[in-house]
Amino acid sequence: MVGAIPQGNGIADIPLCVNDGPATPDAQPRPPMYREPPPPKGWQPRYGAFMKFPVWKNSDNTGYISGYALAINHSNPDAARTEVLEQCQREVLPRERSECSPDKVVILDKAYLRLSMDAPYGLTVQSATQLKELVEQRRSFMMESGPLQPCDASTPAGKCYDSLLALVRNGLHRQPLEKDLHGIAPCPSGPTDAKMKIIGSDGASGTPVPRCGPDRDKRETRLRGGRYDGFAVHPRLTGPPFVSSGHAIAASAEQGALALCTRVFGTGCRSLGANVNGFAATAANDRGELFLGRGPDKASAIADAHRACDTSSGQIVRCDIIALRMAGLPYPQVARLDWHSRTFGAAAAPGGSVSHGGKAWISRGMPSLEEAERYALQHCA
């Protein structure tokens, strides 16, 4: 009751009441608001940055593998952001450099970070003010997802859940390192372990020092070891080749790729061969011909593709790398007719030949051979 309405003439006043909320015993109280725990005592904040980017992508975007970059302990967000963008440019899939964009960088400003690989290929980073929060989150994720299966050669494909890559401290901590932290280490002279690689930097000293973390390439090639990919192309195809993956023998992989190609083009397909235990890179010359390079890592596969393509008949400039693939991935690669349009290039020089120290005019990316030759001759004249 908050008052009364007077009636007069000896009639009793009418009580005036308002609803003060539910008074029933089963009323549900509001849940308590979450309050983040304070950071460790003596912690001085610094900034980190994280980003992931494609190091392999299917031609129709149905599958990809991400690389990652992580910078910690920088004095401002811009310095951390610059470090991971530079790392992205060094590793990103050819023709995907637009992925190295500042708006895709996650800025980190808390005391602890957790980097994990979710099934099957996603990378995630979480941050918290207390290490216990990240450890407890991981335990609850494991309970929801079922038992954690270690990611080694015996793990079935696609059965690796919440694979912990690293627990990291960010900022300046006064207390010694916690025993639960692992996965990321300073490496000023480069990786000392074959399973590690440079993934970013630590700015705690004022000068960025390289930091090494788990190498996704080495990890995945162990999981996919012994499984063959087969590659097939067609004269009309200018994009990535057809790929059939996960075969126990090379002949089966090549037959699978040819079947994919034949389904689209009918006759005229040919095999580019097979690959196992490593990477395969596809290079295209100015006439649209495709060449396959192989190697135990991405750099050696790309170099092998360049050796075959750059020396092909009539090729003057360096070939383009249009595809990069890890052997044994569970995705078939079905090339699309509209994915890459064929383009042409030509070169022109006085007298029809280029002498040492002479000049030549080169055209590239023209819609026809006639246009390419006309453009080069027009500038040579």
pLDDT band at 6 (very low <50, low <70, confident <90, very high): low
- Peptide linkage before 120 cis (omega within 30 of 0): yes
| Bridge partner list, 72 | 202
Which residue from 299, 238, 244, 305 is spatially nearest to 276, judged by alpha carbons? 244
* Least confident window among 92-106, 138-152, 175-189, 233-247: 138-152
Domain parsing of the chain, residue ranges: 47-222, 224-326, 344-380
Is the pLDDT reported for residue 58 higher than 70? Answer: no
* Least confident window among 7-11, 179-183, 253-257: 7-11
Strand 122-128 versus strand 185-186 pairing type: unpaired
- Give CA–CA dist 363/286, Å, rounded: 10
- Taking only the tens place, the pLDDT of each residue in 204-232 is 888 889 988 877 666 655 556 678 889 99
pLDDT at position 364 is: 77
Is the pLDDT reported for residue 157 higher than 50? Answer: no
Q: Tell me the DSSP string of 220-264.
A: HHHHTTT-EEEEEE-TT--SSPEEEEEESSHHHHHHHHHHHHHHH
pLDDT at position 145 is: 35
pLDDT at position 295 is: 92
- Three-state secondary structure readout of 123-142: EEEEEECCHHHHHHHHHHHH
- Taking only the tens place, the pLDDT of each residue in 229-267 is 899 988 877 778 888 887 888 998 899 889 888 888 888
pLDDT at position 36 is: 79
Tokens standing for residue 305: 């593709």
pLDDT at position 45 is: 93
pLDDT at position 86 is: 93
pLDDT at position 214 is: 78
Is the pLDDT reported for residue 104 higher than 60? Answer: yes
Strand 344-348 versus strand 361-366 pairing type: antiparallel
Backbone angles phi, psi at 248, to 5 degrees: -80, -25
pLDDT band at 184 (very low <50, low <70, confident <90, very high): confident
- Average pLDDT over the chain, rounded to an integer: 77
- Taking only the tens place, the pLDDT of each residue in 32-42 is 676 778 888 88
- Give CA–CA dist 217/368, Å, rounded: 39
Q: Residue 280 corresponds to which amino acid?
A: A
Overall average pLDDT of the 127-132 stretch:
88
Backbone angles phi, psi at 236, to 5 degrees: -85, -10
- Give CA–CA dist 372/114, Å, rounded: 52
Q: Tell me the DSSP string of 45-95.
A: --EEEEEEEEEEE-TTSS-EEEEEEEEEEESSHHHHHHHHHHHHHHHSPTT
Question: How many helices (H) and strands (E) would you count in the chain?
Answer: 6, 19
pLDDT at position 163 is: 62
Tokens standing for residue 313: 């008949």
Which residue from 183, 193, 201, 186 is spatially nearest to 87, judged by alpha carbons? 201
pTM of the model: 0.56
- Give CA–CA dist 252/246, Å, rounded: 10
pLDDT at position 310 is: 93
Higher pLDDT among residues 63 and 115, named by residue: 115
pLDDT band at 67 (very low <50, low <70, confident <90, very high): confident
* Least confident window among 27-31, 64-68, 176-180: 27-31
pLDDT band at 197 (very low <50, low <70, confident <90, very high): confident
- List strands edge to edge, sheet with 64-74: 106-108, 47-57, 64-74, 196-202, 209-214, 185-186
- Taking only the tens place, the pLDDT of each residue in 261-298 is 888 888 889 999 999 888 898 898 888 889 999 998 88
